[in-house]
């Protein structure tokens, strides 16, 4: 599904990724861990199409498309979803209006019928339940005045609504208390399937107690330096990155 | 699958041409260019006005000759040559029409092109529409229904003839000719406009609406609107504008006067979309408007405006809160693009005790445009326990536009409270990227963000108008991205 080959990139002429390789198959959950500044969030941004990064070498292939040729919204239409580490606020735009616009843009691109307000509301309500959220949430402004936990739930809520093929969760656990973490993780687990894949970027092994990954990769200095299964995360918890 | 960046988005926004740029071929009755006493006499004569009205006009003209255009606004434009303007133009088939069937078919076509189907509006919204095309009211609807309630809604010319006592009593009392240069000009040469009278205790059951439209090339339009709401009455009045594309600048200097007697409420909403000039800033309407209302005891005046057009906007809808416990409100969205300039805001003059005012202003600047908020909150010594809340927000798109805020606050007693908040923000790359990531293209994203930003104000507009205003905002910023 996703094939990243020898990816190099710069931000403001400073190299951040230095030859990264990663392959993800349908249904797999990959965790990416690594110290601060190792390039984890950069990787997420690049897959989503953030143009502040200059790709100097390498390729990203997604479902037989050369992803680097696609704009951010086209990548979204292809089925890529990024759960942001810091979701932005859009004052005055309600969650329901935002989601409605997003969902219907996807429908338009795929030549399927746009959902009516009633159909959407039904879908929204069932997904809210999944994340233990109150329906009043729908009429609030996007991320405006949201707590850290609410912002993260809102990200997963959108994920549930858009049903992407590849979801990248960038530090979904930061700023979450343990109860919220459980709810969010449970939500993600319900959305897992044989055809959907996830990239989970995190600092802490704790999240992986709730969402068990098929693979764990350690990113350091712009490259994947070690890969393994879920046990690798436990090892990291014990020894730290320096212990590798 | 091209890559898009913010710079490109902004560049392309500025390249959108005006959608309503067309000239309709109405058979017009036009007088020669130029301004002197004879011009004024001719206007008055053509309108069949009584002597007292002509006198008022001539007095205003005398004042005008001693005055100069104001130059304190944050606006740059060439001097206006008053001698190079046509002061009167009326569709030939004028006078009282009972139904639309009697109207000029060309005129109806124009309205349809604008999407303003009167029939549709009447049927769907229950709005009584008094259409002013080039100065003369051509059709007035729902008049009969309104008259059952004692409400008068007609052109100002008709009112001068039919209700001279009312007009005489109130015209020029809120905006006297000496108020400013453009007020004097309007008072001398005003061509037509609307008159509205709501008697004691009557709540006007429908939104009263007038569409203004400059139509004759080179014709300045000088509307005069007078709204009187007697004790305990209520009226909601809508004014909307679109104008055809022009090469030369068109001068527009209107006066709107509102009088809200004890416990009356007037809600005045405007959507202004005069031709803003092309993408190089050529042409476009100069809009110098004096709008002011006076609120007596416990009365309320509320101005809501969406300003998307004109190459120059100079406009400060104001409230004189004369009576105790009176309330003034001003809600404004001003969008400037290309080389448009807007200097707009409000004045809240608190004279009565416990008077309250609220100001919410949202400016959006794109392209090379400049937008200024200029507001005065004045609380006089005797206006004890008065309050004002002001919020002025500016949203910038790109790096070439400007937003400025000039709040003037004068408080002359210690029991009153004034609050002022101001923010300036930019449509951020991060906001756009966030929307893009969810599959929403740049154009849609900008519309979404801008509509969100303006939501508080759009909500103040009557429903049908809010939809139209939202559309206008989108049109203004449409085609902005490829």
Q: How far apart are CA B165 and CA A208, in angstroms?
A: 83
Chain B residues touching residue A76 (CB < 8 angstroms): 436-439
Of B435, B437, B441, the CB nearest to A82: B437
Q: Between residues B273 and B252, which one has the greater pLDDT?
A: B252
The answer to whether A76 contacts B436, with C-beta atoms less than 8 Å apart, is yes
Q: Between residues B1 and B384, which one has the greater pLDDT?
A: B384
Q: Is pLDDT at B201 greater than 90 in this prediction?
A: yes
Query: pLDDT by residue (tens digit) across A7-21?
Result: 999 998 899 999 999
Most confident option among A67-76, A224-233, B20-29, B89-98: A67-76
Q: What is the mean pLDDT of residues A44-70?
A: 94
Per-residue pLDDT at A180: 84
Per-residue pLDDT at B270: 87
Query: pLDDT by residue (tens digit) across B308-367?
Result: 877 888 899 999 999 999 999 999 998 888 888 889 999 999 999 999 999 999 998 888
Residue B460: pLDDT band (50, 70, 90) is confident
Q: Is pLDDT at A106 greater than 80 in this prediction?
A: yes
Give the range among B35-49, B266-280, B398-412 with minimum mean pLDDT. B266-280
By C-alpha distance, the chain B residue nearest A77 is B439
Chain A residues touching residue B437 (CB < 8 angstroms): 48-49, 72-73, 75-76, 81-82, 84
By C-alpha distance, the chain B residue nearest A70 is B1
Residue B43: pLDDT band (50, 70, 90) is confident
Per-residue pLDDT at A105: 93
Per-residue pLDDT at B408: 93
Chain A residues touching residue B428 (CB < 8 angstroms): 88
Per-residue pLDDT at B104: 55
Q: Tell whether ipTM is more than 0.90.
A: yes
Mutation choice for B interface testing from A91, A104, A146 by most B CBs within 10 A: A91
Q: How far apart are CA B317 and CA B256, in angstroms?
A: 9
Q: What is the mean pLDDT of residues B247-259?
A: 81
Per-residue pLDDT at A18: 94
Rg (CA), chain A: 18
Q: Is pLDDT at B46 greater than 50 in this prediction?
A: yes
Q: Between residues B82 and A30, which one has the greater pLDDT?
A: A30
Q: Identify the contact set of chain B against chain A, taking CB-CB distances under 8 A.
A: 1-5, 428-431, 433-442, 444, 448-449, 451-456
Q: Identify the contact set of chain A against chain B, taking CB-CB distances under 8 A.
A: 48-52, 69-77, 81-82, 84, 87-88, 90-93, 97-98, 101-102, 105-106, 109, 141-142, 158, 162
**B464 with B115: CB under 8 angstroms?**
no
By C-alpha distance, the chain A residue nearest B447 is A93
Q: What is the mean pLDDT of residues B63-77?
A: 85
Residue B390: pLDDT band (50, 70, 90) is very high
Mutation choice for B interface testing from A72, A85, A91, A166 by most B CBs within 10 A: A72
Per-residue pLDDT at B370: 86
Q: What is the mean pLDDT of residues B439-456?
A: 89
The answer to whether A71 contacts B3, with C-beta atoms less than 8 Å apart, is yes
The answer to whether B452 contacts A49, with C-beta atoms less than 8 Å apart, is no
Instruction: List the alpha helices (DSSP H) in B324-375.
Output: none
Q: Is pLDDT at A243 greater than 60 in this prediction?
A: yes
Residue A194: CB atoms within 10 A of its CB come to 8
Q: Between residues B336 and A23, which one has the greater pLDDT?
A: A23
Q: Is pLDDT at B113 greater than 80 in this prediction?
A: no
Chain A residues touching residue B438 (CB < 8 angstroms): 73, 76, 98, 102, 105, 158, 162
Per-residue pLDDT at B227: 97
Per-residue pLDDT at B309: 77
Nearest-neighbour CA in chain B from A97: distance (Å): 9
Per-residue pLDDT at B2: 42
Angle at CA A47, nearest 5°, toward A44 and A51?
Answer: 95
**Average pLDDT value for chain B:** 80
Q: What predicted TM-score, i.e. pTM, was given to this entire model?
A: 0.77
Q: Is pLDDT at A82 greater than 70 in this prediction?
A: yes
Of B1, B431, B449, the CB nearest to A71: B1
Per-residue pLDDT at B9: 45
Q: Is pLDDT at B234 greater than 90 in this prediction?
A: yes
Q: Between residues B95 and B337, which one has the greater pLDDT?
A: B337
Per-residue pLDDT at B25: 53
Q: Which residues pair with A151 in a beta bridge?
A: none
The answer to whether A90 contacts B431, with C-beta atoms less than 8 Å apart, is yes
Residue B252: pLDDT band (50, 70, 90) is confident
Q: What is the mean pLDDT of residues B408-429?
A: 89
Q: Look at the domain A2-243 and name its fold.
A: Rossmann fold (3.40.50)
Per-residue pLDDT at B127: 42
The answer to whether B436 contacts A72, with C-beta atoms less than 8 Å apart, is yes
CA-CA-CA-CA torsion for A19, A24, A29, A30, nearest 10 degrees?
Answer: -10
Residue B163: pLDDT band (50, 70, 90) is very high
Per-residue pLDDT at B317: 94
Among B237, B239, B221, CA closest to B229: B237
Query: pLDDT by residue (tens digit) across A183-212?
Result: 889 988 988 999 999 999 998 888 899 999
Chain B residues touching residue A109 (CB < 8 angstroms): 439
Per-residue pLDDT at A168: 96
Q: How far apart are CA A216 and CA B116, in angstroms?
A: 62
Residue ranges of domains in chain A: 2-243
SS3 label, residue A77: helix
Nearest-neighbour CA in chain A from B479: distance (Å): 17
The answer to whether B3 contacts A102, with C-beta atoms less than 8 Å apart, is no
Give the range among A148-152, A223-227, B117-121 with minimum mean pLDDT. B117-121
Among B247, B256, B244, CA closest to B214: B244
Q: How far apart are CA B231 and CA B169, in angstroms?
A: 16
**Average pLDDT value for chain A:** 92
Q: How far is CA B189 from CA B47, B86, B185, in A?
A: 11, 10, 6
Query: pLDDT by residue (tens digit) across B309-321?
Result: 778 888 999 999 9
| Exposed/middle/buried for residue B81 (C-beta within 10 Å: 0-12, 13-18, 19+) | exposed
Q: How far apart are CA B69 and CA B378, in angstroms?
A: 24
Q: What is the mean pLDDT of residues B126-150?
A: 58
Both tokens of B478, joined, read 């449409």
């Amino acid at each position: 599904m996703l094939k990243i080959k020898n990816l190099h990139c710069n931000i403001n002429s400073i190299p951040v990724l230095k030859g990264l390789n990663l392959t993800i198959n349908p249904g797999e959950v990959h965790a990416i861990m690594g110290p601060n500044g190792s390039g984890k969030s950069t990787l997420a941004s690049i897959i989503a199409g953030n143009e502040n990064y200059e790709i100097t070498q390498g390729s990203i292939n997604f479902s037989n498309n050369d992803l680097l040729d696609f704009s951010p919204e086209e990548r979204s239409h292809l089925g890529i979803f990024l759960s942001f580490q810091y979701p932005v606020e859009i004052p005055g735009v309600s969650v329901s209006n935002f989601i409605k616009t997003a969902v219907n843009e996807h429908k338009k691109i795929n030549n399927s019928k746009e959902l009516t307000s009633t159909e959407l509301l039904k879908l929204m309500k069932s997904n809210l339940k999944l994340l233990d959220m109150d329906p009043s949430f729908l009429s609030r402004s996007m991320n405006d005045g949201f707590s850290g936990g609410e912002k993260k739930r809102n990200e997963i809520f959108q994920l549930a609504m858009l049903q992407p093929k590849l979801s990248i969760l960038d530090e979904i656990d930061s700023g979450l208390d343990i109860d919220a973490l459980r709810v969010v993780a449970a939500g993600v687990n319900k959305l897992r399937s044989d055809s959907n894949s996830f990239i989970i970027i995190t600092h802490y092994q704790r999240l992986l107690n709730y969402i068990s990954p098929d693979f764990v990769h350690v990113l350091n200095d712009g490259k994947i330096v070690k890969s393994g299964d879920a046990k690798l995360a436990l090892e990291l918890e014990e020894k730290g990155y320096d212990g590798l | 699958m091209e890559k898009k960046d913010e710079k490109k988005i902004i560049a392309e926004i500025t390249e959108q041409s005006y959608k309503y740029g067309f000239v309709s071929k109405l058979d017009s009755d036009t007088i020669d260019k130029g301004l002197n006493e004879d011009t004024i006499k001719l206007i008055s004569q053509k309108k069949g006005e009584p002597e007292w009205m002509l006198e008022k006009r001539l007095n205003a003209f005398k004042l005008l000759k001693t005055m100069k255009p104001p130059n304190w606004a944050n606006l740059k434009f060439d001097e206006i040559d008053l001698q190079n303007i046509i002061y009167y133009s009326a569709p030939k088939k004028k006078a009282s029409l009972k139904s639309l069937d009697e109207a000029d078919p060309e005129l109806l076509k124009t309205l349809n092109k604008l999407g303003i189907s009167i029939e549709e509006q009447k049927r769907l919204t229950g709005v009584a529409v008094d259409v002013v095309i080039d100065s003369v009211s051509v059709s007035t609807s729902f008049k009969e229904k309104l008259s059952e309630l004692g409400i008068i809604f007609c052109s100002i010319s008709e009112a001068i003839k039919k209700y001279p006592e009312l007009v005489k009593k109130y015209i020029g009392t809120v905006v006297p000719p000496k108020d400013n240069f453009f007020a004097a000009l309007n008072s001398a040469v005003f061509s037509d406009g609307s008159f509205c009278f709501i008697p004691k205790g009557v709540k006007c059951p429908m939104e009263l609406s007038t569409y203004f439209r400059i139509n004759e090339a080179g014709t300045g339009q000088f509307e005069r609107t007078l709204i009187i709401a007697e004790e305990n009455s209520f009226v909601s009045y809508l004014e909307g504008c679109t104008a055809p594309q022009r090469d030369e600048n068109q001068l527009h200097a209107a006066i709107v006067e509102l009088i809200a007697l004890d416990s009356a409420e007037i809600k005045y909403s405007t959507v202004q979309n005069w031709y803003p000039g092309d993408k190089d800033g050529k042409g476009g309407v100069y809009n110098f408007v004096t709008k002011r209302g006076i609120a007596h005891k416990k009365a309320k005046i509320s101005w809501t405006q969406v300003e998307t057009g004109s190459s120059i906007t100079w406009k400060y809808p104001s409230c004189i809160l004369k009576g105790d416990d009176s309330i003034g409100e001003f809600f404004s969205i001003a969008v400037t693009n290309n080389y448009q300039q807007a200097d707009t805001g409000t004045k809240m003059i608190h004279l009565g005790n416990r008077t309250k005012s609220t100001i919410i202003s949202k400016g959006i600047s794109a392209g090379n445009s400049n937008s200024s908020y200029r507001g005065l909150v004045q609380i006089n010594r005797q206006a004890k326990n008065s309050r004002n809340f002001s919020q002025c927000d500016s949203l910038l798109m790109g790096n070439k536009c400007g937003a400025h805020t000039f709040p003037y606050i004068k408080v002359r007693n210690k029991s009153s409270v004034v609050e002022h908040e101001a923010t300036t923000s930019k449509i951020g790359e991060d906001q756009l990227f966030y929307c893009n990531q969810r599959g929403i293209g740049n154009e849609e994203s900008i519309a979404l963000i801008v509509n969100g930003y303006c939501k508080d104000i759009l909500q103040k507009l009557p429903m049908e108008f809010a939809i139209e205003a939202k559309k206008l905002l989108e049109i203004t910023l449409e085609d902005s991205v490829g």
